[in-house]
Amino acid sequence: MSCFDGIEIHGAHGYLLDQFMKDHVNDRTDKCGGFLENRCRSPLEVVEAIVDEIGADKVGIRLSPFADYAEGGDSNPEALGLYMVESLNKYGLVYCHMVEPRMKTVGEKCESPHSLLPMRKAFRGTFIVAGGYDREDGNNAVAENRADLVAYGRVFLANPDLPKRFSLNAALNKYNRETFYIPDPVLGYTDYPFLEDTE
């Protein structure tokens, strides 16, 4: 058995647990469909089972209530997000990692009147935000108490020394989306230059 410090339950981006939660794709008529509470039943049962097995101090979850991946949107994403974080509070998860409303689909950053702030205020653990952040946006999110932490994905992939670059306010490598999710173990994953290599 491998050792690990913890896991993040993937309840976002159109994957299975997200499909249960979203009313645009969940057309079930049993106890896992219909009302919001029913649609969230299976994801919360997964959380409970994992917490019971390894402890809440090793479990986080990623959610994207506002996203519309694979046509998997929801008619009331704010109510969905709030219901989930309020329900998650009873499990004492180490964190909740939420995707910004401005990230509706892959790589498409758009203006949104919605905010994660109500979910941030309702969740009693560490709150992580993600979705199109740059250095300044991330610093502002933490300074303004909109998040405890900011997650960087694509920009971190292209900048293996991202914390150093941020601390120096240095230029960033541009990521190449065409190399994401390809089977090559090097191309697009370990071939981006470090800051020292670009000077």
Instruction: Extract long-range pairs of 32-36: CB within 8 Å, 24+ residues apart.
Output: 36/76, 36/79, 36/80, 36/83
Catalytic residue (choose from 15, 95, 152, 189): 15
Task: Tell me if 21 sits within 8 A of 80, measured CB to CB.
Answer: yes
Q: How far apart are the first and last CA of the chain?
A: 43
Q: Is 175 an annotated catalytic residue?
A: no
For the chain, helix, strand, coil in percent to 5 are 40, 15, 45
Three-class secondary structure of residue 77 per DSSP: helix
Dihedral sign of CA atoms 78, 83, 86, 89 in order: negative
Contacts of residue 54, defined as CB under 8 A and 6 or more positions apart, other chains included, come to 6, 7
Tell me which residues are annotated as active site. Answer: 15
